[in-house]
Amino acid sequence: KAGVTQTPRYLIKTRGQQVTLSCSPISGHRSVSWYQQTPGQGLQFLFEYFSETQRNKGNFPGRFSGRQFSNSRSEMNVSTLELGDSALYLCASSLDGRNQPQHFGDGTRLSIL
Amino acid sequence: EDQVTQSPEALRLQEGESSSLNCSYTVSGLRGLFWYRQDPGKGPEFLFTLYSAGEEKEKERLKATLTKKESFLHITAPKPEDSATYLCAVPGQTGANNLFFGTGTRLTVIP
């Protein structure tokens, strides 16, 4: 069974640009969550999507947004990139999300110059 | 506010030297505690879920236990391939699927 797939694995952008990251969940999983991982803050929850609807949102500015498609695939978008957005962005999927284990992809490493 | 604290931050063990990692939490109504392993350049890999105090789970050289205030990850006779960062996490408020993660314990097992 294929795991969570994230593309691209690496991205280099400059300040002010925007970026879109993609996540394909494990087949049959309907909940997709996004996390940001940095050395200083660790893993922080961004948002969760279920059945194409944002169900939960973390404490991040509105520049961070996402969406989910009918096949459960998800994208997240970051607009007006800042140096502090450099991080590993991780996607995780679970069956329906309620207190279940989340299974992570290997992330997209985003570097802002 | 929900909090998860892991200790120690880093741990170096000789191969075969058993030890324990600690995860203490303060949440209003625990709805599960998750342990993950993360290798450099990879995403966290799910290890265990514990739902109630007294519960234990085992996998190879790892055993996770849970009390009302903390969880332990016991590593018995570790091998170099057990070197990784171990993370624990708890779900956020009721009905939410957001995990609060601790900052992890970086384990190095020396041959």
- In this predicted structure, the answer to whether residue A104 has a pLDDT above a threshold of 80 is yes
Min Cα separation A46/chain B (Å)? 8
> Which whole-number Å values give the CA distances from A57 to A4, B11, B78, B92, in the listed order?
21, 34, 38, 11
Nearest CA in chain A to B88: A43
Q: How far is A45 from chain B (nearest CA, A)?
A: 6
User: Which comes out higher in pLDDT, residue A62 or A40?
Assistant: A62
Query: Residue A78 corresponds to which tokens in the numbers above?
Result: 């970051």
Contacts of A74 in chain B (CB under 8 A): none
Q: Which residue of B has its CA nearest to A4?
A: B43
So what's the pLDDT on residue B92? Answer: 80
Q: In the predicted model, what is the mean pLDDT of residues A4-17?
A: 97
- Examine the pLDDT at B8 and tell me if it is beyond 90: yes
- Mind listing the pLDDT tens digit for each residue in B41-96? 999 999 999 999 999 999 999 999 999 899 999 999 999 999 999 999 998 876 56
Alpha carbon of A103: minimum distance to chain B alpha carbons (Å): 6
Q: Is the pLDDT of residue A5 over 70?
A: yes
pLDDT digits (tens, 9 = 90+) for B69-80: 999 999 999 999
How far apart CA B100 and CA B103 sit, in angstroms, is 10
pLDDT in tens, A88-103: 999 999 998 677 889 9
pLDDT reported for residue B97: 72
